[in-house]
Structure 1
Amino acid sequence: MTATTERPETTLDPDLLVDGSMLIGGEWVPSSGGETIDVVNPATVQVLARVPRGNAADVDAAVRAAEQAFPAWRDLDATSRGRLLFRWADLIEQHGTALDQLESQEVGRPSWGPPPMAGQLRFIAGQADKVQGLSLPTYSPDQLGLTLREPYGVVGAIIPWNAPGPMFATEVGAAIAAGNTIVIKPAEDAPLTPLALAKLALEAGIPPGVVNVVTGYGGEAGAAIPAHPSIRRMGFTGSPQTGSLIMKACADNLVPLHLELGGKSPQVVFPDADLDAAVPAMVMGITLNTGQICAAGSRVVCLRSVHDELVDRLAAQMQRVRVGAWHEPVNMGPLISERQHQRVLGYIDLGREAGAEVVTGGGVPAGYDTGYFVEPTLFDNVAPDMRIAQEEIFGPVLSVIAVDDEAEAIEVANGTEYGLVASVWTNDVGTAVRMSRRLQAGQVAVNSPLGAGVIGGPFGGYKHSGFGRTMGADSVLEWTQVKTVSMRAAVPPVPRTRTPEDD
């Protein structure tokens, strides 16, 4: 692991941000209480910008604006809604460099080049006019039966700080493509990219009130969204603990939702695995975004016969990871905040105390007294029941667990409360098939990083990793409700026969 020490200057595009404001009903407004939150660059601890500290009153105002916008947006034909999303995607692509720099600075990750949001929205936009009902059989030839898929109305979403741009595009894009209007709260640590995307949505012609962004803390603005009686559906990505609170609030109002709640993803390595391909992929998977990814493969479950070589290779690969600020040619940046910094370092201490061996890393890189940097850390001799093997650390900490056979590998891989992602590294087709079926995860990758080369794969979890799916071809359908319509032809009146009395 190598580190750089140069500190970058803050670089924000003024055309993308309205400082100190959030978006409600097409207007950029402060919070009703007048308070703000500092958004900090985690590499330098410099204040990047300030955003409103929204509260329940602000959420109510956003919901009212969304209610006013809903009828016209619902009644706009689906092809026109899709066309506006395509236009939004074009603007995002035009501002790709500035958006990448913005998210890099507020999250702390290295620059990745053109961001994925334009592609995400184009995929979703293409689904907007593919929302279809069914023709149903009937008992009578003069009757029709059919289903309609309709939007819920005003919906809500809460997204995390680790990938605020893609998360915003995923939730907002699918919800409004289906004809809903939305109130969304980004994380207080990284709200700038969502605000910039919302500004571009307005510029694309998406009507005021269709997309409303309320910034603030989770316990204030966040809690007020699922609790609002006019919210008809929710989407949430975050921790299982917060997800449980969101679900309870939704239960009070009988509101459906989808939850994506993190993972403790296993990477199962068999003796016939191609380690030349597996090792770089596994190290990238745990250091990408400093391990702050719900799909990060944080557990390596390997057969004992390959253990020693695998650990040596993983350690060497992790030591080559360059750590530094967003604008530098590095592989890994800082953690998002002081709180997260202390959390990750605390888990490293817990691993040591439990008897796991630190093979490489385990502390703060030299030269980084400022900023929330931590070394890529590899643990060996990890028991499956250790906390570092059971709990989501959300940092660049990789645990190696040796097993005797395939049956034990499956038991260990499935032996956490999570079930989001799993990877298998083997050249045996039979092993790959058995593992793909038996692993308890919403996504399984064989001999590749998760999702590599796949377009439109549904994303979601098993067990405590949540329920519901996003990003697939059905992502827009997730934001619709089904109505059954039965229609019988009107029976024409029978002509009345004239009688003598009529004369």
Structure 2
Amino acid sequence: MTLTSEDTALDPDLLLDGVHLIGGDWVPARSGQTIDVVNPANRAVLARVPRGGAEDVDAAVAAAEGALPAWRDLDAASRGRHLFAWADLIDAHGAELDELERQEMGRPSWGPPRMGGQLRYTAGLADKVQGQSLPTFSPDALALTLREPYGVVGVIIPWNAPGPQFVMEVGAAIAAGNTIVVKPAEDAPLTPLALAKLALEAGIPPGVINVVTGYGAEAGAAVPSHPKIRRVGFTGSPVTGRAVMEACAKNLTPLHLELGGKSPQVVFPDADLEAAVPQMTFSITLNTGQVCAAGSRIVVHRSVHAELVDRLAAQMQQVTVGPWHRPVAMGPLINATQHERVLGYIDVGKESGAELVVGGGVPRGDGLADGFFVEPTLFDKVDPASRIAQEEIFGPVLSVIPVDDEEEALAVANGTEYGLVASVWTRDVGTAVRMSRRLQAGQVGVNSVLGAPAIGAPWGGYKSSGFGRTMGADAVLEWTQVKTVSLRDAAPPGR
């Protein structure tokens, strides 16, 4: 299968047409049906993938069960070496993987992908999984804890960053000794399939990684409800996350959830607006706003409100929009449903009484007519209780909410069901400390957006943004369970 853009072609060996990966074999869906994968910039069919269902998930679980004993019992350092080899292949195919994800997402280039580095960090954790020695009541006894893999695990990953999400979830799970079944989003399954192929080429044994493509209501629903899947990871919307959690509850399957956000950016009078505005604009237009951490609410002190809005309007008007192969800042939304949804929220914003400052429509121009494009949109004087200030739009729609003081700012910032990321813009250390303590978010960035620019920072949310953590030093530990072992000398006293 060859995928082409207007001026490049991908390596046909990176993907196989119409098949997914079960136990080391590339096979079609049991139903024989397929799903078209469409480039959202022009609606061209890129490829077809299997429309898997419960039978395919069953087969993948069986393959993962078969591979589990050897992989689980392999020493941790050797598992790490397999992941390092996988990372090397990812880097070697970085340009092709970037091109592939750009086409299935429709996004412009972000530069060389960081998936190899992300995986190396995880690989280095594989042999750092350690238990503890425990005190005992008697000198003739020893006690300790072991961290062991769950066994066969499952993850459901979203479409907005399919490559990094695949590497992040799969890398940590298999580094801990689990084997895995992955259900990628039907809108963007190609990069995960290509990464799985490279994992096999890197020497990761067949059955350790299995990828079943299909719709969420079919293949996706079969993952958390499967009785032999012993832990689940899900990234997506709160609505689907609740359904996943309900399915897991029937089998008492533990899980972690990352369910999006409505991230506030709190701007104080002493903020450096020259530094803040480009980052704020980047945060809401990166990936066309289809980022869980997007800073979609600007909570600003009235003394700098007017100046900030003027600066944001000017900056957002400079954002270039176009297809993946052009040097632009923003591409299309992922599909027709998302396009209609975001435009619907813009209508809701207008009807709510918010002041539309920039955007609000569909851009026109060469190469845009067939894609799911939308203009970067800025609303001012937004009611903090309105839908556009409360609900995750997952598009390039920014709401500005003026406030009078720190307490009001804090109340507005914490006043949604979400708690993933928050930003504070101030030069005052005391303000930064107080807000960092009191903001209800899993990540707080001071004078930064999209979370702190830290290596190894754990990622996860508060409230309806989910629970559990990915990335970070504990990423592999999240995929282990703890066993206590007690040993006592069986010889009689005095021998």
Residue 127 of structure 1 is matched in structure 2 by 125
Aligned amino acid, residue 390 of structure 1: Q
Distance 1:113 1:203 in 2: 25
Would you say the 8 A contact 2:444–2:452 is kept in 1?
no
Aligned amino acid, residue 337 of structure 1: N
Residue 427 of structure 2 is matched in structure 1 by 427
Pick closer, same or farther for the CA change 1:11–1:45 going to 2, 3 Å. farther
Residue 312 of structure 1 is matched in structure 2 by 310
Distance 2:252 2:158 in 1: 24
- Judge which range, 9-18 or 424-433, deviates more: 9-18
- Judge which range, 233-242 or 102-111, deviates more: 102-111
Residue 490 of structure 1 and its aligned partner are, at CA, apart by 2.2
Aligned amino acid, residue 450 of structure 2: L
Residue 203 of structure 2 is matched in structure 1 by 205
Would you say the 8 A contact 1:10–1:48 is kept in 2?
no
Residue 69 of structure 2 is matched in structure 1 by 71
Secondary structure class of the residue paired with 1:272 = coil
Residue 350 of structure 2 is matched in structure 1 by 352
Secondary structure class of the residue paired with 1:112 = coil
Residue 229 of structure 2 is matched in structure 1 by 231
Instruction: Mark the structure with the bigger radius of gyration.
Output: 1
Residue 352 of structure 1 and its aligned partner are, at CA, apart by 0.3
Would you say the 8 A contact 1:70–1:180 is kept in 2?
yes
Query: Could you report, residue by residue, the CA deviation over 1:105-129 in whole angstroms, capped at 9, with x for unpaired residues?
Result: 1011111121111111000000000
Residue 407 of structure 2 is matched in structure 1 by 407
Residue 445 of structure 1 is matched in structure 2 by 445
Of the three residues 54, 58, 65, the one matched with 2:52 is 54
Distance 1:13 1:266 in 2: 42
Secondary structure class of the residue paired with 1:418 = coil
Unpaired segments ≥5 residues, structure 2: none
Residue 454 of structure 1 is matched in structure 2 by 454
Distance 1:74 1:16 in 2: 28
Would you say the 8 A contact 2:384–2:412 is kept in 1?
yes
Aligned amino acid, residue 179 of structure 1: G
Within a 5 Å distance, the mapping from 1:332-411 to structure 2 comes to 332-367=330-365, 368-411=368-411
Distance 1:330 1:107 in 2: 14
Of the three residues 158, 161, 165, the one matched with 1:163 is 161
Aligned amino acid, residue 194 of structure 1: P
Residue 192 of structure 1 and its aligned partner are, at CA, apart by 0.3
Residue 3 of structure 1 is matched in structure 2 by none
TM-score (structure 2 length as normaliser): 0.97
Aligned amino acid, residue 390 of structure 2: Q
TM-score (structure 1 length as normaliser): 0.96
Residue 116 of structure 2 is matched in structure 1 by 118
Distance 1:90 1:452 in 2: 27
Within a 5 Å distance, the mapping from 1:268-279 to structure 2 comes to 268-279=266-277
Secondary structure class of the residue paired with 2:279 = helix
Residue 210 of structure 1 and its aligned partner are, at CA, apart by 0.2
Residue 12 of structure 1 and its aligned partner are, at CA, apart by 3.1
Residue 189 of structure 2 is matched in structure 1 by 191
Of the three residues 85, 88, 92, the one matched with 1:87 is 85
Aligned amino acid, residue 46 of structure 1: A
Residue 140 of structure 1 and its aligned partner are, at CA, apart by 1.1
Percent identical residues: 78
Of the three residues 275, 298, 301, the one matched with 2:299 is 301
Residue 324 of structure 2 is matched in structure 1 by 326
Distance 1:240 1:129 in 2: 34
Distance 1:287 1:86 in 2: 33
Aligned amino acid, residue 342 of structure 1: E
Residue 28 of structure 2 is matched in structure 1 by 30
Distance 2:223 2:409 in 1: 42
Secondary structure class of the residue paired with 1:149 = strand
Residue 99 of structure 1 is matched in structure 2 by 97
Query: Could you report, residue by residue, the CA deviation over 1:79-126 in whole angstroms, capped at 9, with x for unpaired residues?
Result: 000000000000000000110110011011111121111111000000
Distance 1:210 1:470 in 2: 20
Distance 1:19 1:114 in 2: 25
Distance 1:429 1:452 in 2: 16
Residue 449 of structure 1 and its aligned partner are, at CA, apart by 2.4
Aligned amino acid, residue 307 of structure 2: E
Secondary structure class of the residue paired with 1:16 = coil
Residue 141 of structure 1 and its aligned partner are, at CA, apart by 1.0
Would you say the 8 A contact 2:159–2:184 is kept in 1?
yes
Secondary structure class of the residue paired with 2:125 = helix
Query: Could you report, residue by residue, the CA deviation over 1:347-398 in whole angstroms, capped at 9, with x for unpaired residues?
Result: 0000001111110100001122210000000000100011000000000000
Secondary structure class of the residue paired with 1:422 = strand
Secondary structure class of the residue paired with 2:223 = helix
Query: Could you report, residue by residue, the CA deviation over 1:221-276 in whole angstroms, capped at 9, with x for unpaired residues?
Result: 00001111100000000000000000001000000000000000000001100011
Pick closer, same or farther for the CA change 1:185–1:384 going to 2, 3 Å. same
Unpaired segments ≥5 residues, structure 1: 1-6, 496-503
Distance 1:453 1:56 in 2: 40
Aligned amino acid, residue 260 of structure 1: E
1:487 aligns to 2:487 (yes or no): yes
Give the alignment's Cα RMSD to 1 decimal. Answer: 1.1
Within a 5 Å distance, the mapping from 1:213-224 to structure 2 comes to 213-224=211-222
Pick closer, same or farther for the CA change 1:386–1:451 going to 2, 3 Å. closer
Pick closer, same or farther for the CA change 1:37–1:324 going to 2, 3 Å. same
Would you say the 8 A contact 1:269–1:425 is kept in 2?
yes
1:147 aligns to 2:145 (yes or no): yes
Pick closer, same or farther for the CA change 1:10–1:33 going to 2, 3 Å. farther
Query: Could you report, residue by residue, the CA deviation over 1:276-302 in whole angstroms, capped at 9, with x for unpaired residues?
Result: 110000000000000000000000000
Residue 500 of structure 1 is matched in structure 2 by none
Aligned amino acid, residue 74 of structure 1: R
Residue 453 of structure 1 and its aligned partner are, at CA, apart by 3.3
State the number of aligned residues: 489
Distance 2:65 2:483 in 1: 21
Distance 1:67 1:284 in 2: 44
Residue 325 of structure 1 and its aligned partner are, at CA, apart by 1.0
Would you say the 8 A contact 1:97–1:113 is kept in 2?
no
Secondary structure class of the residue paired with 1:323 = coil
Aligned amino acid, residue 255 of structure 1: T
